Amino acid sequence: MTNKTINGLYAITDPALTPDERLLPAVEAALFGGARLLQYRDKTASADQRRRRASQLRALCHEYDALFIVNDDPALAAEVGADGVHIGQSDGGIATARALLGDNRIIGVTCHGDLRLARQAADAGADYLAMGRFFASRTKPQAPPADIASLKQACDEFPLPVVAIGGVNADNAPLLIQAGAASVAVIEALFGHSDPADIEAAARRISDLF
């Protein structure tokens, strides 16, 4: 059974920042720096590439006792034995993902800053709620903005872990943690660095906030 504890640093890959030759060293640096979850997000690779990379990342995450999540693809998550999947509002729904993954895998849902969406996800059986974006984000600049008040309300209202996302770095993460976020999801502040040593250092700075 998967340990569903969602807390700490949640690293998310990006194909522009972590291309194929850099992916595994970059992810291992983040894990060594304390990342507790890793989401594989790549909408550009072929099905075979995604399957290969997901299998490699799953093995690497489990070496570091971290959870491995696949973005937007419950079938791939099931195929490679991922710990779970993260889905958006247009990715087939929780019931479809649950049917593929079973009861013991994690399903996280993007809720933006919308408490109505968060309630729907919680009622449908989500394991965590992702709220944001809270700060300007170069990797997802079109994502609708969310405010800290909505994060705090979500953390107070729902018994589920809330993951805060959107432009998060070591300087602004404390605001999100103080508001109740169980985890902060980070892309550019980690993988915007080209040197694995810098990725590790950035991961450690954020991990130490928890």
pLDDT in tens, 132-178: 999 988 777 777 889 999 999 999 999 999 999 999 999 999 999 99
| β-pair partners for 106 | 84
Q: Please check whether residue 31 lies inside any domain of the structure.
A: yes
Assess if residue 1 is contained within a domain. no
Q: Which residues are annotated as a binding site?
A: 39-43, 71-72, 91, 110, 137-140, 167
Supply the CATH number for residue 84's domain: 3.20.20.70
- Residue 138 is assigned to a structural domain of this protein: yes
Does residue 2 form part of some domain?
Answer: no
* Structural domain for 41, as ranges: 8-207
Show Cβ contacts of residue 210 under 8 Å, excluding neighbours closer than 6 positions.
7, 8, 9, 177
Q: Provide the domain count of the chain.
A: 1
Residue 3 lies in a domain: no
In a domain, 66, yes or no: yes
* pLDDT tens readout for residues 100-123: 999 999 999 999 999 999 999 999
**Domain for residue 102, yes or no?**
yes
Do 172 and 136 form a contact (C-beta atoms < 8 A)? no
Q: What is the DSSP string of 30-49?
A: HHHTT--EEEE--SSS-HHH
For the entire predicted model, the pTM comes to 0.95
Tell me how far CA of residue 172 lies from CA of 3, 134, 149, 165, in angstroms: 28, 9, 15, 11
Residue 113 phi, psi (nearest 5): -110, 25
